[in-house]
Structure 1
Amino acid sequence: MLVLFSPQHGRELKYLNKPEGDIPVSIYVTPESNNYPGLDRGFNQRFKLDNDLSPSQGEGVYLVSNASDIVETLQNLYKLSAQPGEIKVISGGHCYENFTFQSATDTDSGTRTRFVIDLSNMRGISEEVKEDKEYIVVEPGASNWLIQQTLHAKYGAALPGGSCYSVCAGGHIAGGGYGLLSRLHGLVVDYLAGVEMVIPDATEGKYKIRTFTPGNDEDRLNWASRGGGSGHFGIITKYYFEKARVPAAPEHALFISFPVAWEQFSTSSPETDAANFAAFLQAYYDACTQLPEQAFTLGKFTFRQNSSDFMAISMQVVYGEHSGHDSATLGGQDVPAYTRDEAIKAIYDFIDYMKDWIPEAKESKHLQQPYYLPGHPVSASVLLNHLYDLPWIDMTQMLNGSGENQCGKYKSSCMIENFTQPEGEEIYYFLTGTQKDNEVPDTLDKAQTLIQIDSYGKQINAMDNPELFHTAVAARNSTLKLQYQTYWKNYENRDEEQRKAVEKAIVAWFNKGYNFIHNKGTNNASGFPVWGDKYQGCYFNYPDRQLGVNPGYTSDPGELYGDFLQLYFGERVRDELLAIKTSIDPTNRFAFSQAVLNLTRAS
């Protein structure tokens, strides 16, 4: 028997076997249901709903199937006296912070998530015709892998989105949508025509479906959904991509992972080692600037535990008749297709740039050694120095991992200019646990602590700019994207107080190390990647509560930036998003710790 919440009964919870008539009904999963564990949390095991939610108050998870379900559910939750910040939304559950699963113990005000609207059953990929144009329509619960597999099989197409297979469209697309094809085709939002969204109605407690109409964006919600993030203004129920503007999928891809031995930075002189490591990072930056659009690199620069450890740089190059980019159809700049020989040459050119740091494959003691690529967005087991040559869709499947469900903390920065010498040295000290005044906690899982440095730029920077202003992604001059990551497990022999203590110690160390690095990168101007000639802030899809939080929410330990929206979006986009919020949702019905809020109404 399913537990259903029918709009015709208002505050009453009614147990039914099936919906009555054609009235939209969402599936209500109570905290007492056997399928509630797992629905009460996302991929990051740090965050879950409080244990004392009450079925008698309608608290718990609501599984919806369409926009009408969402409208009815929201309106009924209003009748249950739901307040701003108590209703949250989830599609895939990969949020790096507690935007959905907000515990009362993690807020200054005690406001917590009481109701979760779960979009995971809305996973359709279909077609619609509007004003004689064909659109591919993606629902928010569709996963990255489902999207790529469907587009490839049905249309021979591919969106340049992320690689973690279980990340879903609901959060990924609206935040930008960045993946291994982005240097060739840009970001997913560069192809997003618009959205359907459930938004507040002018009448208190009422909601409406804001449909997608081609060429009409008076409310600016289509624009805001191109990189401004999800959950600020309403609930996106459909993403529309003009069929003729979705890039063709490349036929083939090469992939290889190079080991980078820590022992070359492990002499008797820490100062010399730090200087050499900085030179290595500078060489990596230079090598990335020389990459063709078809190539993408992931630098998995992991914490050193002993001198025999090694890091890895992975590289993918696509080739085939459809491995180019047609600016007349897609925008940006023309890129000719790559042959296999040209793809091989791109790999050897990269090796040549990095020859002082990467040994030739035949001389590497790690040749053909199995290696697990840690962290996100690519998490897979590969053989080192082994050249994989597969159909592109098979390569995407091979690299399509999400890793283990555990606890994690993430940080980011978008970098324009090369690493400064002091900055590169500070990264060395961070990854070797030798930063001054930042002692490594005993509970840190060093094997799962890394800075991932991905190649960026090329078509990402060509598809939009501040003058065109097609999207809410303002970071269009960056060459590298850095993602700081650390993971740990909640062991059974730790009670809740001990788990919180472990989390606080790890996060405090992690944040402080990040601040030290950026102080060096900004010549002591800021412990954050402030917008300027050197950095372009942070990536909203990698949220970080150290940047700051809205009133009533608890931030990370350590130094805070404050104006987190400015750091994510820059001033112009931030101001536009705030204006849209005031227009669409002036009473902040949709709110979380880093949501765009109408601050005149925020408590």
Structure 2
Amino acid sequence: MTRRGLLGGTAALGGAAVTSSFAPAAAASSGGPAFGPIVVRPGDARYEDLVVRRTNQRFRPQPDYFHVPGSTEQVVAAVNEAVRAGRRVTVRSGGHCYENFVGDGAQVVIDLCEMSEVYFDERRGAFAIEAGATLMQAYRTLYLGWGVTIPGGQCGGVAAGGHIAGGGYGPLSRLHGLTVDYLDAVEVVVVDRSGRARAVVATRDPSDPNHDLWWAHTGGGGGNFGIVTRYWMRDPNVRGRDPGKLLPRPPASVLSGVALWSWNGMTKESFRRLLRNHGEWHERHSAPDSPYAALWGSLLIPGRQTGADPGGIALPTQVAATVPGAERLLRDYFAAVAEGVTPEVFVPPFERMPWFQAVRTLSLGEASESGRYKGKSAYLRQHLTDEQADVAYEHLGTAGEVSSTGLLWLLSYGGLVNTVRPEATATVERRSVLKMIHLVTWEEGQDGAEHLEWVRRLHQRTFAATGGVPAPGGNCGGAYINYPDIDHADPKWNTSDVPWSTIYYGANYARLQRVKARWDPRDVFHHALSVRLPG
């Protein structure tokens, strides 16, 4: 069987089985010898390459071995072997986790980098994306092959495995919704109460006996229920089997621009005005039928730099160039955010480019995705208060060795995302208009503890009114599980009476626990913020 293969009823898989009456047929063979399984242990020249194959260099997994499979069958066999031996197993697709969920105590790391195919599954009538495929791979294949795409993230090196399970969003989400809103089916390697691994296909179809497992992967986060090996994607509102109509078609071209403000002359009052303008604009223009639904921007507020040039604040933004009056919409947006703000905004000439060129050009590249960093997130239903803006100004507006490596990042959200009922998917937050990230980075040899303390204090002070965390309510909607932050579960930093599970999952957590009890009753797949077994 080829690396794409399986499925179609029940097939024996090395002592396990792939079972689902909803399973599609195997994709056409690509020919050639099958890849894997590859087992890499310490002493193997490849071991260190696999250790560093992750973007957050704060963490270094040191398992007994890495297992690099080339098929779902091989994943099943690898999990069976690890469970029988009593070894703790974790999984990695792209390696972009904000926390140490892959390496922490792992004795076996299953690395899915070679399971990276993207293709159209004729029998299912949906696009298959293997868990190790990067978003850029998916964008390229879907677009060049069929002229379609998924509304996924801006970091092209992120892999589908974790991105989709956690919800997934990006520049097209205001116009087309979350990545997970297009999830038709998911294939997951799970472990039953007896310790036997098997692969299960769970679908959107409510009559599917495995439907709850599908639901859990619509925002329930990675590493909770099993190992995802592939997803099938299609628009649930489209009938027929024409591949060119089964996912959103991106705009033919994109108009991009940036508004810039210097830190020189940026007073606390002006900074308040900037954040208020930006947030209130999103409150006014985040309805799904807004002419601005095709506009997406990210307000980047880096810490003031030491030296002669303090740097400044940037608002890179893009809009579908095919929207009537696209240039006017972009200029009006910049003008609304800049109103009453000093120093005066600087807006270089706009640039128009074909959509896929824009994806490659505007994507955050490998250099932006890698390093030592700590990130903390929040959903915002309304703009930051003046008090919250003052906290950001105090932390970022004063030059310092640590603060100069910090960042406040506010990303456009809402639109079609917020038309889905909170209980329809595991992604419970469907009211926010912005996503917020607090971030700090540092280089090897620098004091990481000092940087960690800095970003933790920034986050804690920002949400001081709610116990140091973005508890749902008021202008907050909780936090995004794809930006996990273990501090939300630490009573030192979370002094509220709101548990971390509510911050990330809200009212959907109890159902996620029931799914966990059914599909991972031995808690084989767990980490610091994993869904807990009930009871």
Q: TM-score, normalised by structure 2?
A: 0.85
Equivalent positions of 1:307-456 (< 5 A) are 308-320=310-322, 338-339=323-324, 342-353=325-336, 354-357=338-341, 364=346, 385-400=348-363, 401-404=365-368, 405-433=370-398, 444=402, 446-456=403-413
Gaps of 5+ in 2: 1-12, 16-32, 235-242, 286-291
Instruction: Write the deviation string for residues 264-283 of structure 1: whole angstroms up to 9, x where unpaired.
Output: 32xxxxxxx32331122101
Confirm or deny: 8 A CA contact 1:301 1:450 kept in the other structure.
yes
Q: Relative to structure 1, is the Cα distance of residues 557 and 117 closer, same or farther in structure 2, using a 3 angstrom cutoff?
A: farther
For the residue of structure 2 that corresponds to 1:403, the secondary structure is helix
For 2:396, give the aligned amino acid.
L
Large movers: runs of 4+ above 4 Å: 22-25, 358-361, 555-562
Secondary structure at 2:145 match in 1: helix
Residues 42-61 of structure 1: pairs in structure 2 closer than 5 A: 42-50=54-62, 59-61=64-66
Tell me, yes or no, if the aligned pair for 2:414 and 2:432 is still in contact at 8 Å.
Answer: yes
Mapping of 1:79-118 within 5 angstroms? 79-82=84-87, 86-102=88-104, 112-118=105-111
- 1:285 is the counterpart of 2:220: no
Distance 1:300 1:25, change over 3 A: closer
1:311 aligned partner, one-letter code: I
Which residue does the alignment assign to 2:168?
177
SS at match of 1:38: helix
- Paired residue for 2:48? 37
Classify 1:529/1:213 alpha carbon distance in 2 versus 1 (closer, same or farther; 3 Å). Answer: closer
Look up the match of 2:70: 65
The answer to whether structure 1 residue 298 and structure 2 residue 292 are counterparts is no
1:483 is aligned with what amino acid? Answer: I
2:460 maps to 1:515: yes
Matching residue of 1:211: 201
Q: Distance in 2 between matches of 1:448 and 1:512?
A: 15
AA in 2 matched with 1:255: S
Distance 2:230 2:213 in 1: 13
Partner of 1:565: 501
User: With structure 1 as the length reference, what TM-score do the two structures score?
Assistant: 0.76
Paired AA for residue 421 in structure 2: N
Secondary structure at the aligned position of 2:426 is classed as: coil
Q: d(CA) in 1 for partners of 2:421 and 2:493?
A: 34
Pick the aligned partner of 1:544 from 481, 485, 493: 485
Structure 1 position 288, deviation (Å): 2.9
Instruction: Report the CA distance between 1:260 and its aligned residue.
Output: 1.2
- Deviation at residue 406 of structure 1 after TM alignment: 1.3
Corresponding residue of 2:183:
192
- In the TM superposition, residue 8 of structure 1 has moved relative to its aligned partner by 8.8
**Cα distance, 1:300–1:406 mapped onto 2, change above 3 Å:** same
Q: 3-state DSSP class of the match of 1:593?
A: coil
Moved more, 418-427 or 476-485: 418-427
Find the aligned partners of 1:479 and 1:488 in 2 and give their Cα distance: 30
Instruction: Describe the shift of the 1:525–1:544 C-alpha distance in structure 2 as closer, same or farther (beyond 3 A).
Output: closer
In percent, how many aligned pairs have the same letter? 27
Q: Is the 8 A contact 1:507 1:556 kept in 2?
A: no
The partner residue of 1:576 within 482, 507, 511 is: 511
Deviates more, 1:418-427 or 1:154-163: 418-427
Across the two proteins, how many residue pairs are aligned to each other?
482
Structure 2 Cα separation of the partners of residues 514 and 143 of structure 1:
30
- Displacement after TM superposition at 1:593 (Å): 1.1
Contact 2:278 2:383 in 1 (8 A): no
Would the aligned equivalents of 2:259 and 2:334 in 1 still touch at CA under 8 Å?
A: no
TM-aligned CA distance change 1:119 to 1:425, over 3 Å: same
Whichever of the two has the greater Rg, that structure is 1
Question: Shift of residue 289 of structure 1?
Answer: 3.6
- CA RMSD in angstroms comes to 2.4
2:26 equivalent in structure 1: none
Q: Is the 8 A contact 2:55 2:96 kept in 1?
A: yes
How many Å apart are 1:74 and its aligned residue? 1.0
- Aligned-pair distance for 1:558? 4.2
Question: How big is the shift at 1:117?
Answer: 0.3
Deviation at 1:599, TM superposition (A): 5.1
Residue 560 (structure 1) shift: 5.7
1:459 aligns with 2:416: yes
CA distance in 2, matches of 1:137, 1:465: 26
Match of 1:75, as an amino acid?
N
Check whether the contact 1:171–1:230 (CA below 8 A) recurs between aligned residues: yes
**CA contact under 8 A between 1:259 and 1:358: conserved in structure 2?**
no
Offset of residue 80 of structure 1: 2.4
The question of whether the paired residues in 2 share the 8 Å contact of 1:504 and 1:557 is answered with: no
Give 1:23 deviation, angstroms.
11
Secondary structure class of the residue paired with 1:69 = helix
Residue 509 and residue 135 in structure 1: after superposition, are their counterparts in 2 closer, same or farther (change >3 A)?
A: same
- Kept in 2, the 8 Å contact 1:71–1:207? The answer is yes
List runs of 5+ in structure 1 lacking aligned partners: 1-6, 10-21, 54-58, 103-111, 266-272, 321-337, 365-383, 435-439, 492-498, 549-554
Letter in 1 for 2:48: P
Distance 1:490 1:217, change over 3 A: farther
Q: What is the correspondence of 1:149-168 to structure 2 with a 5 Å cutoff?
A: 149-168=140-159
How far apart are residue 534 of structure 1 and its match? 1.6
Q: 1:76 aligns with which of 77, 81, 91?
A: 81
The Cα shift of 1:355 comes to: 3.5
Distance in 1 separating the partners of 2:326 and 2:417:
20
Structure 1 residue 395: Cα displacement: 0.6
Letter in 1 for 2:228: I
1:486-501 equivalences under 5 Å are: 486-491=440-445
Letter in 2 for 1:416: R
Alignment of 1:261-276 (within 5 A): 261-265=262-266, 273-276=267-270
Q: Contact (CA 8 Å) 1:547, 1:560: kept in 2 or not? A: no
Displacement of 1:566 after TM fit?
1.1
Q: For residue 39 of structure 1, report the CA deviation from its aligned partner.
A: 0.7
Q: Residues 93-151 of structure 1: CA distance to partner in whole angstroms, max 9, x if unpaired?
A: 0111000011xxxxxxxxx1111001110001122244xx5110100011010101111
> Given that residues 160 and 181 in structure 1 are in contact (C-alpha distance below 8 angstroms), is that contact kept between their aligned partners in structure 2?
yes
Change (3 A) 1:263 1:547: same
Amino acid at match of 1:296: W
The answer as to whether partners of 1:228 and 1:577 remain within 8 angstroms in 2 is yes
Counterpart-to-counterpart distance in 2, 1:430 and 1:465: 37
Q: CA deviation at 1:309?
A: 2.4
Is the CA contact 2:469–2:494 (under 8 Å) kept in the aligned structure 1? no
Q: Which amino acid aligns with 1:348?
A: R
Tell me the alpha carbon deviations over residues 278-316 of structure 1, each in whole angstroms, 9 at most, x when there is no partner: 122101112334550010011001111357421111110
CA distance in structure 2 between the aligned counterparts of 1:114 and 1:432, rounded to whole angstroms: 44
- Amino acid corresponding to residue 100 of structure 1 in structure 2: V
